[in-house]
């Protein structure tokens, strides 16, 4: 089922909700989740409220996404991060490329 | 059959009376010569009426009273045989407690009429008595059942004592059972969860949903499940359980370690208020959803309100019973009234607020359950999550090519570690560390994959495709993982060794600086998350120290 994707009513926000484990096993699925974004989308939201476990390939996947979408969307937000996940983003200095909440 | 007891000292008159009674079809007649004999017989032979010779009772009032007492709770008629037609004597008999008199000599019709009348009253009294006993039995049963249910509720709804110290609250049911519910709990992460809610109606019928709700809330919140998921779980439980006209308005909230960041789900409740230290309303969390137990699982909405309060702010939650309280002239308190009180006295504690409420209501009766809580925003104590087990342990495992293909040992290890007391909090970091070490041993040591392939988006995916291919073709290779827990130093020593070419760490070092590279950040991440990372034996063996205190 996961990741779950939702488009906001006005079509500008696209939310990807991740499962409890975000690691290399998600590579294909995660890549597909943003491969056919409608042109109306200006903000991509990655919802990590369920995510407890993450490995370094997850960081790679996010960076890849950022690179692919850089010209298409204005912002990528990483939202609802748990303390441990947020800390890993901090160590990797992801705050320079993403809005982390 | 009616049982008649005759007290007559004179044997001749005694026989006469017994004979008369027999003629009137009273077949069960016992005769005694004295009051003393009669008193001992009354309870044992269940007498229905006493016919006593006036002279046989020396102190009549006391003796009649005693006879009636011996008969128990039903009415025992006492008829007194009076020898004289003097009014004084007859009056004396009534004054002594006789229910009727029988003038001697006795005419059979008079005896029959008067005895029958008294026995009718006796029968009525007995019927009433047995109904009474039945009612008292029911009452005792209900009391007992209530006591059992109250006991179960008290235990099931006992509030987690860690959480209780953090939240000030007041619950006032309008009857024995509360249709309101207030629960709080701390999760394994040390975050604080609360639930305040109100079932339709009050009393036992509305309290019945509290048990499954409390159980669902306590187990899910302990695991730090997001509030909207807890709401969804309770919704499906209640949807299945409650009759169609019953539902549960509630707010579920989670507050993080800082005591200021909150996630709130409100379904059908009055707004949760966030008040500043100065007594200003900073934020109102209005209901965004319907009450629980109404929507089908697929109609259920998960939107949550997130907010970061200031330290010192107060979160105030209440059920509608509070704002619907009326004063003696019928004016409702309302949310405005409550807010005004909070503005007038920003640091008012719950006890005092309740006193103000009682004064406002005056002598009127409490009509609905009332629940109220207050949480002062500020750093939560984290002791609970920091407790570390006392016994040292070692866990070691070795996986070979087949095992590696079939399972991910890291996931299995983490599932195991997460169940250990005090370690759940660390399971996220341990997952990242173990994944990194294991991936390096497998992908670089055994499969000899080159990370530079990950340079492009398509290469990234290609890398993992190649990983899959080489893994399928892997014919030999071992990876051993060893974890040593040292309770004194509060640390876990992690050692991973592979039978392949090892991990050439020199290639990766420092590349975290190049933020654009989607690979190579692993080793840097390791150094940040652990106390020490050491490679030996040409990169085939790595030792990492993880400190639980950090």
What is the distance between the alpha carbons of residues B350 and A13, in angstroms, rounded to a whole number? 43
What is the distance between the alpha carbons of residues B196 and B182, in angstroms, rounded to a whole number? 5
Q: Would the CA dihedral through B417, B421, B427, B430 be positive or negative?
A: negative
Of how many residues is chain B composed? 550
What is the distance between the alpha carbons of residues B21 and B50, in angstroms, rounded to a whole number? 12
What is the distance between the alpha carbons of residues B445 and B442, in angstroms, rounded to a whole number? 5
Cβ–Cβ below 8 Å for A27 and B515: no
pLDDT value at residue B415 = 82
* Model confidence at B507: pLDDT above 70: no
**pLDDT tens-digit readout, B304-345:** 999 999 999 999 999 998 998 999 988 999 999 999 999 999
What is the distance between the alpha carbons of residues A6 and A1, in angstroms, rounded to a whole number? 13
Q: How big is the CA angle at A87 (ends B285 and B217), to the nearest 5 degrees?
A: 40
**pLDDT tens-digit readout, B387-400:** 566 788 899 999 99
Please name the helix (run of DSSP H) or strand (run of DSSP E) that holds residue B249, with its range, or none. Answer: strand B248-255
Query: Which residue reads 């579920």 in tokens?
Result: B252
Which among A23, A59, A101 is the nearest to B521, CB-wise?
A: A59
The CA distance from B445 to the nearest CA of chain A, in Å, is: 17
Cβ–Cβ below 8 Å for B428 and A61: no
Give the mean pLDDT of B417-440. 84
B497, B540 Cβ separation under 8 angstroms: yes
Kindly state the DSSP code that residue B439 receives in the 8-state scheme.
H
Kindly state the DSSP code that residue B541 receives in the 8-state scheme.
E
What is the distance between the alpha carbons of residues B427 and B431, in angstroms, rounded to a whole number? 6
Cβ–Cβ below 8 Å for B457 and A21: no
A91, A56 Cβ separation under 8 angstroms: no
pLDDT value at residue B410 = 92
| Beta-bridge partners for A79 | A47
**pLDDT tens-digit readout, B460-473:** 888 988 999 999 99
What is the distance between the alpha carbons of residues A85 and B493, in angstroms, rounded to a whole number? 22
pLDDT value at residue B145 = 81
CA Rg, chain A, in Å? Answer: 12
Judged by DSSP in three states, B375 sits in strand
Model confidence pTM above 0.80: no
Cβ–Cβ below 8 Å for B518 and A63: yes
pLDDT band at A50 (very low <50, low <70, confident <90, very high): confident
B1, B47 Cβ separation under 8 angstroms: no
Which among A25, A83, A93 is the nearest to B189, CB-wise?
A: A83
User: What residues of B are in contact with residue A52 (Cβ under 8 Å)?
Assistant: 427-428, 431
pLDDT value at residue B70 = 87
pLDDT band at B508 (very low <50, low <70, confident <90, very high): very low
Nearest to B110, CA basis, from B87, B88, B82: B82
Considering only residues B524 and B195, tell me which one the structure prediction assigns the higher pLDDT. Answer: B195
Give the mean pLDDT of B514-543. 78
Interface of A with B in 57-86 (CB under 8 A): 57, 59-61, 63-64, 67-68, 80, 82-85
**pLDDT tens-digit readout, B129-149:** 999 999 999 999 888 887 887
* Model confidence at B197: pLDDT above 80: yes
What is the distance between the alpha carbons of residues B489 and B392, in angstroms, rounded to a whole number? 10
The CA distance from B431 to the nearest CA of chain A, in Å, is: 6
Distances from the Cα of B356 to the Cα of B280, B316, B337, B338, angstroms: 20, 16, 11, 10
Considering only residues B86 and B518, tell me which one the structure prediction assigns the higher pLDDT. Answer: B86
Cβ–Cβ below 8 Å for A31 and B457: yes
Interhelix angle B87-95/B60-70, rounded to 10 degrees, is: 40
What is the distance between the alpha carbons of residues A87 and B348, in angstroms, rounded to a whole number? 38
Half-sphere exposure of B168 (CA within 13 A, CB side): 15
* Model confidence at B523: pLDDT above 60: yes
Q: If you measure CA to CA, which chain B residue comes closest to A98? A: B515
Which residues make Cβ contacts (< 8 Å) with residue A95, sequence separation at least 6?
A89
* Model confidence at A92: pLDDT above 90: no
**Three-class secondary structure assignment of B310-323:** CCCCEEEEECHHHH
Nearest to B80, CA basis, from B55, B108, B110, B48: B55
Give the mean pLDDT of B367-390. 77
End-to-end CA distance of chain A: 24
pLDDT value at residue B311 = 92
Considering only residues B461 and B50, tell me which one the structure prediction assigns the higher pLDDT. Answer: B50
pLDDT band at B287 (very low <50, low <70, confident <90, very high): very high
What is the distance between the alpha carbons of residues B106 and B108, in angstroms, rounded to a whole number? 6
CA B540 to chain centre: 54
Considering only residues B307 and B365, tell me which one the structure prediction assigns the higher pLDDT. Answer: B307
pLDDT value at residue A1 = 38
| Beta-bridge partners for B253 | B194, B264
Nearest to B264, CA basis, from B380, B375, B382: B375
Nearest to B185, CA basis, from B202, B163, B203, B211: B163
Q: What is the ipTM, given to two decimal places?
A: 0.81
Kindly state the DSSP code that residue B515 receives in the 8-state scheme.
T
User: What residues of B are in contact with residue A27 (Cβ under 8 Å)?
Assistant: 460-461, 464
- The runs of H, that is alpha helices, within B157-209 are 161-164, 204-207
Query: Which residue reads 């209780």 in tokens?
Result: B164
What is the distance between the alpha carbons of residues B234 and B374, in angstroms, rounded to a whole number? 23
Give the mean pLDDT of B167-195. 83
Cβ–Cβ below 8 Å for B435 and A59: no
Residue spans of beta strands (DSSP E) within B144-213: 167-172, 180-186, 192-199
B19, B111 Cβ separation under 8 angstroms: no
Paired tokens of B394: 């070692």
Nearest to B282, CA basis, from B271, B268, B270: B271
Burial readout B461-486 (b: 16 or more C-beta within 10 A, e: otherwise) = bebbebbeeebeebeebbbbbebebe
**Percent of chain B predicted with pLDDT > 70:** 93
Of how many residues is chain A composed? 101
pLDDT value at residue B99 = 95
- The runs of H, that is alpha helices, within A6-93 are 27-33, 56-69, 83-91
B185, B221 Cβ separation under 8 angstroms: yes
User: What residues of A are in contact with residue B263 (Cβ under 8 Å)?
Assistant: 80
Cβ–Cβ below 8 Å for A59 and B518: yes
* Model confidence at B382: pLDDT above 70: no
What is the distance between the alpha carbons of residues A24 and B461, in angstroms, rounded to a whole number? 10
pLDDT band at B550 (very low <50, low <70, confident <90, very high): low
Give the mean pLDDT of A10-17. 90
Q: How big is the CA angle at A88 (ends A86 and A92), to the nearest 5 degrees?
A: 115
Phi, psi dihedral angles at B295 (to 5 degrees):
-80, 150
What is the distance between the alpha carbons of residues B414 and B423, in angstroms, rounded to a whole number? 10
Q: Hey, is the C-beta of B104 within 8 angstroms of any chain A C-beta?
A: no
pLDDT value at residue B202 = 65
pLDDT band at B505 (very low <50, low <70, confident <90, very high): low
* Model confidence at B77: pLDDT above 90: yes
Cβ–Cβ below 8 Å for B429 and A61: no
Q: Is the peptide bond before B20 cis (omega within 30 degrees of 0)?
A: no
Cβ–Cβ below 8 Å for B414 and A53: yes
Query: Which residue reads 């005895």 in tokens?
Result: B115
* Model confidence at B88: pLDDT above 70: yes
pLDDT value at residue A42 = 93
Mean residue pLDDT of chain B comes to: 86
Q: Hey, is the C-beta of A100 within 8 angstroms of any chain B C-beta?
A: no
- Judged by average pLDDT, the poorest of A1-5, B164-168, B426-430, B519-523 is A1-5
* Model confidence at B78: pLDDT above 70: yes
Judged by DSSP in three states, B55 sits in helix
Which residues make Cβ contacts (< 8 Å) with residue B374, sequence separation at least 6?
B167, B168, B169, B314, B315, B316, B317, B349, B350
User: What residues of B are in contact with residue A68 (Cβ under 8 Å)?
Assistant: 457
């Amino acid at each position: 089922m996961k990741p779950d994707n939702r488009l906001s009513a006005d079509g500008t926000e696209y939310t990807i909700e991740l499962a409890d484990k975000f690691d290399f096993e998600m590579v294909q699925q995660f890549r597909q989740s943003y491969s056919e974004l409608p042109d109306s989308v200006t903000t991509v939201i990655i919802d990590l409220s369920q995510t407890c476990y993450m490995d370094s390939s997850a960081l790679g996947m996010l960076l890849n996404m950022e690179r692919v979408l850089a010209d298409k969307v204005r912002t990528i937000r990483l939202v609802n991060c748990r303390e441990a996940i947020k800390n890993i983003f901090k160590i990797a200095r992801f705050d320079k490329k993403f809005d982390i909440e | 059959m009616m049982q008649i007891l005759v007290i007559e000292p004179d044997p001749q008159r005694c026989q006469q009376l017994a004979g008369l009674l027999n003629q009137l079809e009273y077949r069960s007649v016992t005769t005694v010569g004295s009051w003393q004999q009669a008193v001992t017989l009354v309870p044992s032979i269940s007498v229905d009426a006493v016919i006593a010779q006036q002279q046989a009772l020396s102190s009549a009032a006391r003796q009649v009273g005693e006879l009636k007492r011996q008969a128990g709770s039903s009415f025992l008629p006492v008829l007194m045989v009076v020898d004289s037609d003097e009014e004084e004597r007859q009056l004396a008999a009534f004054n002594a407690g006789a229910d009727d008199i029988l003038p001697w000599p006795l005419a059979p019709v008079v005896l029959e009429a008067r005895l029958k009348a008294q026995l009718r009253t006796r029968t009525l009294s007995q019927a009433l008595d047995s109904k009474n006993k039945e009612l008292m039995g029911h009452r005792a049963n209900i009391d007992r059942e209530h006591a059992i249910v109250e006991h179960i509720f008290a235990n099931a709804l006992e509030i987690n004592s860690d959480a209780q110290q953090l939240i000030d609250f007041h619950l006032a049911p309008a009857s024995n059972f509360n249709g309101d519910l207030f629960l709080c709990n701390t999760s394994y992460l040390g975050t604080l969860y609360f639930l305040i809610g109100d079932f339709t109606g009050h009393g036992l019928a509305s309290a019945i949903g509290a048990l499954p709700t409390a159980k669902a809330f306590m187990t899910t919140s302990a695991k730090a499940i997001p509030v909207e998921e807890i709401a969804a779980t309770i919704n499906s439980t209640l949807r299945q359980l409650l009759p169609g006209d019953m539902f549960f308005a509630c707010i579920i909230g989670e507050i993080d370690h800082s005591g200021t960041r909150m996630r709130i789900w409100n379904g059908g409740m009055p707004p949760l208020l966030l008040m500043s230290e100065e007594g200003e309303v900073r934020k109102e969390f209005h209901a965004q959803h319907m009450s629980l137990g109404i929507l089908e699982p697929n109609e259920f909405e998960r939107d949550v309100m997130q907010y970061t309060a200031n330290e010192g702010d107060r979160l105030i939650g209440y059920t509608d019973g509070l704002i619907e309280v009326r004063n003696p002239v019928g004016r409702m308190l309302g949310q405005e009234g409550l807010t005004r009180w909070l503005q007038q006295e920003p640091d008012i504690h719950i006890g005092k607020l309740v006193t103000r409420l009682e004064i406002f209501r005056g002598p009127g009766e409490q009509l609905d359950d009332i629940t109220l809580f207050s949480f002062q925003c500020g750093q939560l104590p984290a002791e609970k999550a920091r407790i570390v087990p006392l016994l040292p342990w070692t866990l070691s495992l070795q996986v070979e090519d087949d095992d590696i293909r079939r399972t991910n040992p890291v996931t299995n290890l983490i599932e195991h570690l997460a169940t250990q007391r005090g370690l759940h909090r660390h399971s996220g970091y341990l997952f990242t560390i173990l994944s990194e070490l294991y991936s390096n041993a497998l992908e670089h040591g055994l499969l000899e994959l080159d990370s530079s392939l990950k340079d492009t988006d398509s290469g990234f995916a290609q890398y993992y495709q190649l990983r899959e291919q080489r893994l399928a073709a892997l014919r030999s290779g071992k990876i051993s993982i060893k974890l040593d827990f040292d309770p004194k130093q509060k640390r876990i020593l992690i050692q991973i060794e592979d039978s392949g070419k090892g991990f050439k760490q020199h290639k990766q070092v420092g590349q975290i600086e190049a933020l654009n590279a989607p690979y190579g950040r692993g080793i840097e991440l390791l150094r940040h998350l652990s106390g020490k990372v050491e490679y030996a034996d040409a990169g085939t063996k790595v030792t990492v120290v993880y400190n639980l205190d950090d």
